[in-house]
Structure 1
Amino acid sequence: MASMLALVGLFLLTPRISRAGAQSIGVCYGLNGNDLPSTQDVINLYNEKGIAKMRIYAPFPQVLNALRGSNIELIVDVANEDIEPLASDASAAAHWVQDNILRYSPDVQFKYIAVGNEVLPNFDNAKYILPAMENLQNAIIAAGLQDQIKVSTATYTALLAVSSPPSQGSFGNDSKLFMKPIINFLVQNNAPLLVNIYPYFGYIGDPANIGLEYALFTSPGIVVQDGLLGYQNLFDAMLDAHYTALEREEGGNTVEIVVSETGWPSEGSSASSVENAGTYYKNLINHVKGGSGTPRRPGKAIETYLFAMFDENEKTGDETEKHFGLFTPNKQPKYAVSFT
């Protein structure tokens, strides 16, 4: 922690970020801490830094009220434990939309509803994901908001049976049964798939075969040659593996991916440091908003949400989980990250 604080002065965010230049970048706002700023202070910080997109992991009324009039585009999650009631009862989904969307719209700029986060096919609530999506979609249509708000779910690389090389990306058998009807839903409703992409976990899971430079966007040249496509960073490779898996399913080639989480911790493991995390965030931001896309899907910015706004001292799991913040709880920036 001392080394991190010593570097705070070196890693400063730009005072004001142009919203026009930050349209592909958002930041996830987690609330698992007992020392976080007030919600209004958080919204003020988003506005001060020009961060124009946010993801929250449940429809917290205090956050939604503070977002009124801010013009911050929002992903709001249906928490995993709340999915089953919305799947089992269409009227419950209609009430959810009334209570958590219509009560705040148009003052709050809802963009996506994420029905669950990282639900795997063997989870008890996996069978409820699609019915809940369908019921919420019907409620959104009834409200006339289907062109503004897209219903999706947030998944991650564990659904892939093969992820390397990217051209071989594919869902496992159980994942395919789980994802195929979800993909059909996304195609029918012109909605993206939300995917959490973490080169950090890819690197620490296989450091013998994955170089740190490849994970941090600092490789000087192509690292993975995949047919005619060359990969210089792990983020693109992971994202394209998901695109390949989608393309194997009927209609899946039309589905866009929104990166609903990505980040790098500053403490808690041998690969976690302020230097590594700052390098990752800076290079990632430049890459995803630069318009180059990925080798498989070139030529466009990649809508991406950084995880997360603050270090969260009540997160469970590995120690690293507490140290993904772009800011310390006292609102001080940890890295030299510029969105402009």
Structure 2
Amino acid sequence: MLPAWRDGYYRARIESVRVFTKQSVELLLVPEKGWPTHKSGQHLALTLNINGRLVTRVFTIASSAEQLEAQNTLRLLIRTQDKGALTAHLSKLTRGEWVNISKPQGTFLLPRTEQPVVMLAGGSGITPFIAMLHSIPKGDTRPITLLYYAKKNAHWLNTELAQLQVSLPGFEYRLLERDKDGDAVKALSPYTGKKWLVCGPEGLHKQVAQLAEQTNTPLASEHFSATPRVDLSTERAEFTVTYNGKQFMIDNQHTLLAHLKAKQQEVNAGCGMGICHQCKCVKKRGVVRDTRTGELSDNTEQLIQLCVSQVVSDVELVK
């Protein structure tokens, strides 16, 4: 059965589902005609209807635009969680089912330069890099090094990486374990001055960013943990929120989405990071702060995202 049409989303058919390591699933999707072609390194929002509820999460596309053109498929490599709201259901999908996907998003791309590039991947952060590597024409000699951190025996796509090293003369890779090989600073120190790309946990990003600043090394990074919040309010204050006619007292320290969930109000929610837009709501009056940028809204009616909005005054909301 085709999923309902949703503004800003596209339909995609499940071509195959494969559990390729413990708690890791590969999805091959066939997007409907009209889906915008992606660039290697970009991500999309995947939405499933789970028990009558739409659940959305964001994943990097682990295949190149060339694969889409040749095979008409997109590949997602996803680490699953037993209690995950969406990922726990992925292995149960079957060929021929339909899902919703967003257009491709993001600017984490392979630089168009002959400058040596060093890729640092942590765990499932390998996904944008595998797409980038597959987008490089065979025989291209640009120097690219991949440093891939994972737990012992938990590195993904070992055979694929070995094949890429053969087909790309300038590509080399190292499989690293923190306990055996040390942290990212030790691994990256020999490569200062080259272009760094990093994708992995937030702690890895912070460590690499600090080293990049110290060594004046150019850095681009990508991760999908919660967007860092800009907290401009140092003092806690309480305001009245009116939601679909019901009034509550809430503070300015948490998002509207968190407050409404705590009040057990019916509210749509997806990624919780401001990407999928499922929690959009009409603000009839009042001022809110965007937690990503610190920007304040005006006092008039407008569409806001509950997951990235904190109150600055009394507000009235309509679902």
If the TM-score is normalised by the length of the shorter chain, which range does it land in? under 0.3
Say which one has the larger Rg: 2
Q: Which structure has more strand as a fraction of its residues?
A: 2
Q: TM-score scaled to structure 1, two decimals?
A: 0.26
**TM-score, normalisation: structure 2:** 0.28
Q: Which has the higher helix share?
A: 1
**Higher normalized contact order (CA 8 Å, seq sep 6+, divided by chain length):** 1
